[in-house]
Every structure is written in structure tokens, then in C-alpha cells.
Amino acid sequence: MARRPSRRDLLKALGLGAASVFAPRRLSGAKAADAETKPNFILIMADDLGYADVGCYGCKTIRTPHIDALAARGMRLTDYHSNGAVCSPTRAALLTGRYQQRSGIEGVVTAKGHRHTGLAPAETTFAEVLKSAGYVTGLFGKWHLGYRVEFNPVRQGFDEFRGYVSGNVDYHSHIDQVGEEDWWAGEKLTPEKGYSTDLISKHGEAFIERHRDRPFCLYLPHEAPHYPLQGRNDKADRSPGKPSRSGAAARTRPPPTRR
């Protein structure tokens, strides 16, 4: 009896099928002879940004020229819905293509109460699918799907990761809501000076430059405009051992125990 296709098989087939729809990558010299015609993927997420808060969807009070430019040169989806109302479930659904409840992430994975749980390594992410198809994969920014090393993005299909694993960090000190340092390079806690928005963009741009001659998938989940509300010239609000002045981690129903 023939083996029944697994979910991973189906995702892989869909991923490769979708790739053939896009324009091929253009490589020069010897690389062009061997390179497959695979598109690059760049997925940018703005955290807590409402569709009515950007100019291309009619907002008159907030200036968003760069987002508006992307919309003008591309496509606006006017009936597209997030799979959740809060951070962690939304990201679990986006990464796996499954209802968040099925991946065990029904609520926010908070810094204060849920450091023991996260997206199970057994789940299949789009990064794993594309990596199996020959892509190099990178994530720079917010993860929010588990604090422990076993939940780290590099164990979920991403070759490179720079950023933070909690719901938000101080934009300058990169301290999470309970006063712990939260800026990583892969699985290693690696403090880095700089404004989080600029760091995320810088690492994303560097990833593109490093891998411009091969198929890549870049996931760029920005912190902005999520709280704390801090500009480049503001002072840090948090320091090691000192939680946020604006309150502890969000109080939400904890994710259920996986069965």
C-alpha cells in the first residue's frame, strides 16, 4: 500500500508549486547554469499595527510613506484576517499554517507566567519547508513563541536569528517586561547596543546582501509600533532586574497543556 502523504509532504509540494508562479531569480556567470528558478521571500510584520493606521488604507493622521509606497507598487489585501487577536497565537498560526489551538498556543506566552512553554519543535514551520527546498532562512526581530532554548527559532527551521523571544523589550536596553535581558544571536544571549527598530532592519538588510546569490526566506517581525512607546532619542525605561514602569506582562489565559 502506498504511503499516505504527510502534512510535511503536502506543505513542501505547495511551497514548491507556489514558487513556480513567481518570476525567476536572475543570477550571472556559473551560478546561473545550476540555479533553480526560485523566488526570494521577505515577510515583514508590524506588531500591533492596525490596518486603519496607515495611509494606504485611508488614515489621514499618521504618516506612513514607506508602507504606502510598498502598497502603491504592489497589492493591497482588503479582506485578509489575522488568525488571532494577540501576539503568540497569531505567530503560531502564521508560521505553521494551522489553527493556533492545534499547535498548543491559545494565549500569549508571557515573560512572567509562561517561560516553560512554547511552540513545540515537532510543529512544521514555513521556514522548515523552504529550508528543505534549498532556501537559506533568517529571522530578525520578535519571536514570542517560547523562552527556552528548545523553542528557539534556530530549532524551528531558521538558519539565522537575531532579536528577542519575549512579547516586547525596551527599545534601547532590550530588557523584557520582568527585567531580564532578551537579545539573542541564535541560541546565545548576546547584548547589542542600538534602537531595536534600527537593529532589526540592519540585520535584515545584511542577510539579504549575504545571500543575494541564492534563494532566501527572510522573516522580519518588527517590534514597532508595539509598546513601550520609545523614540530613538528617548532614554531606556528598563534595566536588568527592573521591570517596565508601564506594568507587568499582559494578563491573559495561559496556553493549554499539550496533550
Among 144, 203, 211, 226, the one annotated catalytic: 144
In three-state secondary structure terms, 217 is strand
Among 56, 59, 81, 87, the active-site one is 87
Examine the residue annotation and report whether 56 is marked as an active-site residue of this protein.
no
User: Which helix (H) or strand (E) is 88 found in, with range?
Assistant: helix 87-96
All three cell numbers of 128: 522548515
| Cβ atoms of 133 and 122 closer than 8 Å | no
Closest CA to 45 of 246, 233, 226, 192: 226
Grid coordinates of 234? 528617548
Phi, psi of 198 (to 5 degrees): -70, -40
Q: Where are the alpha helices (DSSP H) in the chain?
A: 7-19, 30-34, 65-73, 87-96, 126-132, 196-210
How far, in Å, are 51, 53, 76, 85, 89 from residue 58 at the CA level? 9, 8, 12, 22, 28
What Å distances lie between residue 249 and 28, 110, 113, 189, CA to CA?
50, 6, 8, 21
Instruction: Examine the residue annotation and report whether 144 is marked as an active-site residue of this protein.
Output: yes
Q: What angle do CA 43, 44, 46 make, to 5 degrees?
A: 145
Enumerate the active-site residues: 87, 144
